[in-house]
Amino acid sequence: MPDRAQFESLKLELLRGGVAPAYVERTILELSEHCQDLEDDALAAGLAKEEAARLARAQLGSEQSIAAAVLAQRELLVWRRRWPRTASCLRSAATIVALPGLPVVYCIDRGPEIARWSAALGSALILVSSLLACLNWMILLG
């Protein structure tokens, strides 16, 4: 069987193009098997191994043409490449939903510090409120 590594650049190009990884693996496997069949046919016709491998690759076509044919099939693309606006909206919505939860996540394991600061802020609020109330009563009664 031909080495699947010979299709590595095609694999990377398809992944960069947005083809789902499962389809990329299947495409590479099918190309590898088809290349092996073409090479076996050439060997059966009496060609040397190197010549048979070169002829098989030539019959498959260039990697650019194979990539263009695969990328033209939109059903093979990952969903965020098929529907980019929907993906963008969902990403924005997820960000908007997650942002208010970040302080909660930050505060989960910081209970004692939050309790101490809450007590300090609460007592300061009570002290300042009582001073303002006393000043207000002095002004009104005074």
pLDDT tens profile 81-135: 888 899 888 888 888 888 888 787 777 788 888 888 889 999 999 999 999 999 9
pLDDT in tens, 12-69: 999 999 999 999 999 999 999 999 999 999 999 998 999 998 999 899 988 899 999 9
Place of tokens 């109330």: 133
Query: Which has more pLDDT, 73 or 1?
Result: 73
Confidence class of residue 4 from pLDDT cuts 50, 70 and 90?
A: low
Q: Is the pTM of this model over 0.85?
A: no
How far is it, in rounded angstroms, from Cα 128 to Cα 25?
Answer: 69
CA torsion, ordered 28, 29, 31, 32, to nearest 10 deg: 110
pLDDT value at 142 more than 90:
no
Position 104 scores a pLDDT of 76
Is the predicted pLDDT of residue 2 greater than 60, yes or no?
no
Of 66, 58, 87, whose CA–CA distance to 24 is shortest?
66
Number of H helices, E strands in the chain: 7, 0
Q: How far from 46 is each of 39, 71, 127, CA to CA, in Å? A: 11, 36, 100
pLDDT at 120 (0 to 100)? 92
pLDDT for 1 equals: 46
**Cα angle 78, 84, 85; round to 5:** 145
DSSP states of 35-90: HHHHHHHHHHTT--HHHHHHHHHHHH--HHHHHHHHHT-GGGB-HHHHSHHHHHHH
